[in-house]
Structures are given as structure tokens and as C-alpha cells.
């Protein structure tokens, strides 16, 4: 726990992710006392020109840029923030000494969170050096935080797990999938397991199909080099969308704790049928118009090959072969340069066995749907049919709606939540090694097959083949308002 304070050691501390996402939240949480007292932040990076004063300035700038500054920020950084350069083995011996002296001077009891904001290729050296100089163990707790990508296929994920397990036990490892830290995603489990009304219909008897859409209007921005090596399946589907799938499909855990929740998620992955070629559509955006502005195609983006066949869109149909879900398709889709930013889970319920009202020249009656909007405009709607007043008899599909902002105001960000959970020592919202492996087992064969990539215009909802995937089953993609 945070009782005797914590030393937060941030590797890759001068990098882009650290400056934009991590430093502002670490500092903000620490200043609010959420990370415990006393608190110290030690930035570690390869930069030989950086020192304590330079890093304190960088931290203050990042925090201010994130709108979390304040008059006392510089003084706070002067007291709480240190820096260490490390790029060769001897530097880790120095670091071990520095860590101990920071703890001693600050009255910390040895609780340490190590955050590797580094490319996975750098993990092995850092972890081995930490093990060698004794930093993997401490008088308090020691936790290791790592970010996706957790490998790029099954073999590399297994190798990465083996690397981190060389010095750290699984109970010390906090793998971040930031989607799981989003309030609306955490709420999925509350929604399902605190409300028996929904849990009682959450099965193959009542549900026709489930759709999970993670649409982005942005392109790949300046990440061409990364994206060419990664593609959408690795960047979004193997992790974020699959996490959402497991949370929708999992059984009731024995308890709301890390082991029980993650155990159930792994069971979903094990029950997923192998993905066949005709279950999956890959797409790549061509030039088009998004929000009224013309945008480049993927192949015209910086650091992208002119003949690239990397996918920027994936749609797929998954089957979870459990007693609860047998025969219920789960349709997943995600892509860049779609018409708008939208993350939504849509549960479509089965039609009534007798279509009483369709015989009376009413228009087709849409089925009941539960639309869970995870971002933006967080909330959910239960869509059902009502009679429009008057004659002739007409039905209208209308929502019962819940809106997060209306009920609670602004929501905490995923990083804010996850960083606090690391210090609390709760792994429920973090990804277990078995989940990583379970997921790669399903997706690696697809990557090895080299699927065709269909082009779609930027600003559309993806290639026509993605619509055909559902049309074959008599369904269509649903997009909330």
C-alpha cells in the first residue's frame, strides 16, 4: 500500500508518451496525495545531457501543458523530482545507489513502482540490469508497469513474458491496456454483475449478436514508421477490442478481485473459436474527406511505403463457444479515418417469436438493443419500441438513456485510474500474462496467413467487404447517433 510513500521510477522519462500522458498524471496524482506520502519521482533516460534541474523543468512544462500547473509547481518539482542517465551497465550500479539515497533522505520505506515507458526491445537489458544490481527487490513492495505492445505475435509475446519473469514475479507485473482503465469499460462489469435484470438476459437465448466498434477519425499522424511494423490488428484488435470482448462475454467471477476476473477473461479467450479467413476483413484508407476536410490516403502518409499493404481497418466475426454464447456472433471492427470517433458496444436482442405488428403494414420493427457508448458522450441507451400516439398504428424505436456527464460530470482518465491502482496494488484492471498469450494464440495464425487488404475512402465506415461480413448473417453494423 501507499502508507510509507512510494518512489516512482519512470524509464524513458524524456520520451513522448512520458511527457504527454504519464508525467502530468503522475505529478497530478502525487500532488493530490493519491500516490501516498512521501512521494518521489525519479526519471531515467539515456540522455547524457539531462540532469536534475533539466528534468524538473521538463516535468513542470509537461504538467503545465496538460493544464495542471500552479504557482507551487516548480518548488514541488525541486523537492520531489530527480533524474538519472542510464545507457550502460555501470549506470545501473549508480542508479541502485541513487535509489537508496533518495529513499533514505526522503524517509521512504522502499515501495517502488518501475514504469517502463520504453520500446519492448529495450526491456531485456533494463530488466536484467535491475535484477543484477538488486533493484527488483526492495524492503517494501516492488511493481513493474509495462505498456503494450506485449509482443507482435505468439513467439515474441512468450519471449517478452520470459524476459520480465527473469526478475519479476507475475504478481509484481502491471501490464497496461489503457482501454481497461476507462471508467466506462470498468462499468461494464458493474453493469453486468450488479444488475440481475441484464445478467438474466445476457445469453444465447435472448441475444442475437454483439457488435464492438472502436472507430477513430484520426489517421496515423506521425507514427508511420511504427504503424508500418504494426498495423491495426496488432495495434487495436489483439489488445483493446479483445479486452472489451472478454468483459462482455466473461462469466460471473468468484469475486471482484484480480485473480478471479482475469481467470474468467482467460476462459473466454480459450473458448474463442479459431478465426477463419472469411471471418476477417482487412482494410486500408485511401484519400477521402473526414469532417468536411480532404485527407491523404494511408500510402501518402509520412514513413509509409507507397505500395504498403498494412491494414488500418479490421472487421471480424468471432464465436465464443461457451454454453452461454454458442451461436451468438461477436462482430468487432476498428479503423483509422472513419467518419467519427466512437467506441460503442451494441447488444442486439432476439426478435419476438411472432411479429404481431409487422402484419399491420407498420414499417419493420427494429429489435431491442442495448447501446453502451464508451466514448465520447459516455452513457448507454436501451432501445425499445413504443406506439406513436394516434392512427395509423406506427411504432417508434426510442431510447431509455443514461448519460455519464449528466450524472457525474467529468470522468477520470484511464491513466489517472491505472497509475493510482498500481500504487494501491490492485491488478484487476491490468492484463495477466495468460491473457496476452491467449489472445496472441487466436490472432497469430491470421497474421501468418497474409490476408488481402481492401481499400476504403477516408471518411467512410470501412470497405464494403466489412458490411458483407454481417450481411451474410442477415445483420448490419449499427451506429448510434
Angle in degrees, 0-180, between the axes of helices 433-449 and 154-167, rounded to the nearest 10: 150
Residue numbers 168-207 binding ligand BG6 by CB under 6 A: 178
- Give me the least distance between CB of 335 and ligand BG6, in Å please: 10
DSSP helix/strand/coil, 197: helix
Instruction: Name the residue nearer to ligand BG6 (CB basis): 130 or 315.
Output: 315
DSSP helix/strand/coil, 371: strand
- Give me the least distance between CB of 211 and ligand BG6, in Å please: 17
Number of residues this chain uses to bind ligand BG6 (CB under 6 A):
3
| 147 near ligand BG6, rule: CB under 6 A | no
Helices (H) and strands (E) in the chain, counts: 17, 17
| 378 near ligand BG6, rule: CB under 6 A | no
| 311 near ligand BG6, rule: CB under 6 A | no
Environment class of residue 3 by beta-carbon count within 10 Å: exposed (0-12), middle (13-18) or buried (19+)? exposed
Enter the C-alpha cell of residue 312.
488500418
Which residue in the list 178, 209, 240, 432 is annotated as catalytic?
A: 240
Instruction: Name the residue nearer to ligand BG6 (CB basis): 86 or 332.
Output: 332
Strand order in the sheet with 395-403: 395-403, 379-387, 369-375, 342-349, 207-215, 329-335, 313-319, 280-286, 453-457
- Give me the least distance between CB of 162 and ligand BG6, in Å please: 24
Instruction: Name the residue nearer to ligand BG6 (CB basis): 264 or 378.
Output: 378
- Give me the least distance between CB of 356 and ligand BG6, in Å please: 42
Q: 425 and 163 in contact (C-beta within 8 Å)?
A: no
| 301 near ligand BG6, rule: CB under 6 A | no
Q: Which of 65, 66, 25, 59 lies closest to 418, judged by CA? A: 25
Using Cβ positions, the residue closest to ligand BG6 within the complex turns out to be: 235
Instruction: Name the residue nearer to ligand BG6 (CB basis): 28 or 216.
Output: 216
| 129 near ligand BG6, rule: CB under 6 A | no
CB atoms within 10 A of CB 59: 27
| 435 near ligand BG6, rule: CB under 6 A | no
| 21 near ligand BG6, rule: CB under 6 A | no
- Give me the least distance between CB of 240 and ligand BG6, in Å please: 6
- Give me the least distance between CB of 24 and ligand BG6, in Å please: 15
Residue with C-alpha cell 500510402?
A: 299
| 235 near ligand BG6, rule: CB under 6 A | yes
Instruction: Name the residue nearer to ligand BG6 (CB basis): 383 or 431.
Output: 431
Strand-pair category, 173-176 with 142-147: parallel
Q: Kindly give the residue spans of alpha helices, DSSP state H, lying in 20-167.
A: 23-31, 52-65, 73-80, 89-106, 123-132, 154-167
| 216 near ligand BG6, rule: CB under 6 A | yes
Residue 212 makes CB contacts below 8 A (sequence gap 6+) with 241, 244, 245, 248, 330, 331, 332, 333, 344, 345, 346
In the residue annotation, 80 being an active-site residue is answered as no
Q: Which of 113, 23, 140, 117 lies closest to 76, judged by CA? A: 23
Instruction: Name the residue nearer to ligand BG6 (CB basis): 103 or 235.
Output: 235
Task: Give me the active site residues, please.
Answer: 240
Which residues bind to ligand BG6, rule: CB under 6 A? Answer: 178, 216, 235
Amino acid at each position: 500500500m501507499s502508507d510509507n510513500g512510494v518512489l516512482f521510477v519512470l524509464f524513458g522519462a524524456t520520451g513522448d508518451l512520458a511527457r504527454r500522458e504519464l508525467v502530468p498524471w503522475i505529478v497530478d496524482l502525487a500532488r493530490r496525495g493519491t500516490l501516498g506520502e512521501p512521494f518521489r519521482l525519479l526519471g531515467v533516460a539515456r540522455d547524457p545531457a539531462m540532469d536534475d534541474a533539466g528534468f524538473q523543468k521538463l516535468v513542470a512544462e509537461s504538467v503545465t501543458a496538460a493544464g495542471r500547473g500552479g504557482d507551487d509547481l516548480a518548488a514541488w518539482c525541486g523537492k520531489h523530482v530527480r533524474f538519472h542517465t542510464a545507457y550502460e551497465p555501470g549506470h545501473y550500479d549508480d542508479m541502485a545507489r541513487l535509489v537508496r539515497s533518495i529513499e533514505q533522505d526522503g524517509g521512504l520505506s522502499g515501495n517502488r513502482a518501475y514504469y517502463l515507458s520504453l520500446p519492448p526491445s529495450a526491456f531485456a537489458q533494463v530488466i536484467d540490469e535491475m535484477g543484477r544490481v538488486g533493484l527488483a527487490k526492495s524492503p517494501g513492495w516492488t511493481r513493474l508497469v509495462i505498456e503494450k505492445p506485449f509482443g507482435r505475435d505468439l513467439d515474441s509475446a512468450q519471449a517478452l513474458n520470459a524476459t520480465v519473469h527473469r526478475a519479476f514475479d507475475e504478481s509484481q507485473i502491471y501490464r497496461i491496456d489503457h482501454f481497461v482503465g476507462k471508467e466506462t469499460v470498468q462499468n461494464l462489469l458493474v453493469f453486468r454483475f450488479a444488475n440481475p435484470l441484464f445478467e438474466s438476459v445476457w445469453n444465447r437465448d435472448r441475444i442475437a449478436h454483439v457488435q464492438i466498434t472502436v472507430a477513430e477519425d484520426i489517421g496515423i499522424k506521425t507514427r508511420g514508421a511504427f504503424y508500418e511494423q504494426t498495423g491495426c490488428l496488432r495495434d487495436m484488435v489483439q489488445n483493446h477490442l479483445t479486452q472489451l470482448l472478454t468483459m462482455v462475454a466473461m462469466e460471473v467471477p468468484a469475486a471482484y478481485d484480480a485473480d478471479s476476473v482475469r481467470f474468467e477473461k482467460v476462459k473466454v479467450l480459450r473458448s474463442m473459436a479459431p478465426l477463419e479467413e472469411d471471418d476477417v476483413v482487412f482494410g486500408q484508407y485511401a484519400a477521402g474527406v473526414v469532417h468536411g476536410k480532404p485527407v491523404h490516403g494511408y500510402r501518402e502518409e509520412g514513413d509509409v511505403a507507397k505500395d504498403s499493404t498494412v491494414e488500418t481497418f479490421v472487421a471480424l466475426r468471432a464465436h465464443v463457444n461457451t454454453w452461454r454464447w454458442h451461436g451468438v456472433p461477436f462482430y468487432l471492427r476498428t479503423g483509422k479515418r472513419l467518419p467519427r470517433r466512437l467506441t460503442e458496444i451494441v447488444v442486439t436482442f432476439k426478435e419476438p417469436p411472432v411479429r404481431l405488428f409487422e402484419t399491420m403494414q407498420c414499417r419493420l420493427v427494429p429489435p431491442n438493443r442495448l447501446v453502451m457508448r464508451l466514448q465520447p458522450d459516455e452513457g448507454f441507451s436501451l432501445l425499445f419500441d413504443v406506439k406513436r400516439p394516434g392512427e395509423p398504428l406506427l411504432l417508434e424505436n426510442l431510447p431509455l438513456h443514461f448519460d455519464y456527464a449528466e450524472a457525474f460530470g467529468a470522468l477520470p482518465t484511464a491513466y489517472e485510474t491505472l497509475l493510482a491502482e498500481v500504487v494501491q496494488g490492485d491488478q484487476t484492471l491490468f492484463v495477466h500474462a495468460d491473457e496476452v498469450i491467449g489472445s496472441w494464440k487466436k490472432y497469430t495464425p491470421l497474421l501468418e496467413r497474409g490476408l488481402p487488404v481492401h481499400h476504403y475512402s477516408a471518411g467512410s465506415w470501412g470497405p464494403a467487404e466489412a458490411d458483407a461480413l454481417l450481411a451474410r448473417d442477415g445483420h448490419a453494423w449499427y451506429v448510434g447517433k
